[in-house]
Amino acid sequence: MGKTIAIVNQKGGAGKTTTATFLAEALSGNKKKVLLVDLDPLSCLAKRYSIEPGTTHSLADCMEGRSSLEQCICQANSEGMEIALGHHNLIGFEITAMHQEDRESILAKQMNELKAKYDFVLIDTPSSLGLLTMNALVAADEVVIPIKCDYTIFDGMAELLRTIDDVSNSLNSKLRITGFLVTHVNSQLRSTAINLKEIQTCYGDSVLHTIIPDSEDLRDSFQQLAAELLN
Ligand SMILES: Nc1ncnc2c1ncn2[C@@H]1O[C@H](COP(=O)(O)OP(=O)(O)O)[C@@H](O)[C@H]1O
Ligand SMILES: [Mg+2]
């Protein structure tokens, strides 16, 4: 049975989109069948995979009931990785769905029919704890939390952990945290060792062993993360 992982942190610039894309590519390079769900109205991953806008329906259509999730999916790369296309109109969903009864479970219901096709479904989320992120948490089995290794490590973390706890106590009892992924690690900075120690002290065994450096070439680091998650 496949695994659905939401990449979540309401802080912008933490490395969510970077983690979702590089990890999806690393897993698909390991012959895993991967679906990347681009649930951030601002990220527009279609460009990264040279997909013309309008090729298929987008997640904005899916979340607002105009299409199925399957109709938003297209091939992302030659390795067979697939992507459910995002759209800036997703921002409207947070408002239009506000009074809808099943508003937090729309993605989960759509994914129920598709999950079995994939080894991994990775969901990139917006930098907020709004309705789109709630949908990701309700649809997911696990959460990876990227943390930027700087003085803002703990910003917003208490609310995020409370939200994950709330979702696991209500709408999605199977939800668990895979781990905290430390990103943007610059070993040249003196503050880095202190920040890493603080993260370790606070989150202990929940900190993933793989560390993502501050670097232009992240492929090997995400290969290492893929191997850690596959173990
Ligand atoms: N490990 C890293 N090293 C260098 N640059 C990074 C790293 N991770 C992310 N970035 C850059 O930082 C910016 C924010 O990252 P992104 O993944 O978009 O964050 P988020 O999705 O959490 O807002 C992007 O320009 C991205 O290219
Ligand atoms: Mg992003």
Euclidean distance between CA atoms 183 and 211, whole angstroms: 6
| Phi, psi for residue 3 in degrees, rounded to 5 | -120, 135
Q: Nearest to residue 42, comparing CAs of 87, 11, 1? A: 87
pLDDT (tens digit per residue) in 82-106: 999 999 999 999 999 999 999 999 9
Instruction: Give residue 42's domain range.
Output: 3-230
The structural domain count of the chain equals: 1
> Which residue's CA is the nearest one to ligand 1's atom 16?
15
Task: Write the CATH number for 206.
Answer: 3.40.50.300
Share of the chain above pLDDT 90, in %: 91
Give the mutation target among 7, 10, 18 for probing the ligand 1 site: most ligand atoms within 8 A of CB: 18
Residue carrying the six token digits 């999950």: 115
- pLDDT number for residue 3: 97
Query: Quick one: tokens of 72?
Result: 């938003």
* Residues near 10 by beta carbon (within 8 Å), at least 6 away in sequence: 127, 128, 129, 133, 156, 159, 160
Q: Which residue CA neighbors atom 14 of ligand 1 most closely?
A: 13
Burial 114-130 (b: 16+ CB within 10 A, else e): bbeebbbbbbbbbbbbe
Ion ligand 2 neighbours (CB, 5 A) are 16-17, 40, 43
Q: Is 16 exposed, middle or buried (0-12, 13-18, 19+ CB in 10 A)?
A: buried
pTM of the prediction?
0.97
* pLDDT tens digits in sequence order for the chain, 231 residues long: 689 999 999 999 999 999 999 999 999 999 999 999 999 999 779 889 999 877 889 999 999 999 999 999 999 988 889 999 999 999 999 999 999 999 999 999 999 989 999 999 999 999 999 999 999 999 999 999 999 999 999 999 999 999 999 999 999 999 999 999 999 999 999 999 999 999 999 999 999 999 999 999 999 999 999 999 999
Given this model, what pLDDT does residue 78 score?
81
Which ligand does the CA of 148 lie closest to?
Answer: 1
* Ligand 1, atom nearest to 184 Cα: 1
Supply the pLDDT for residue 54: 77
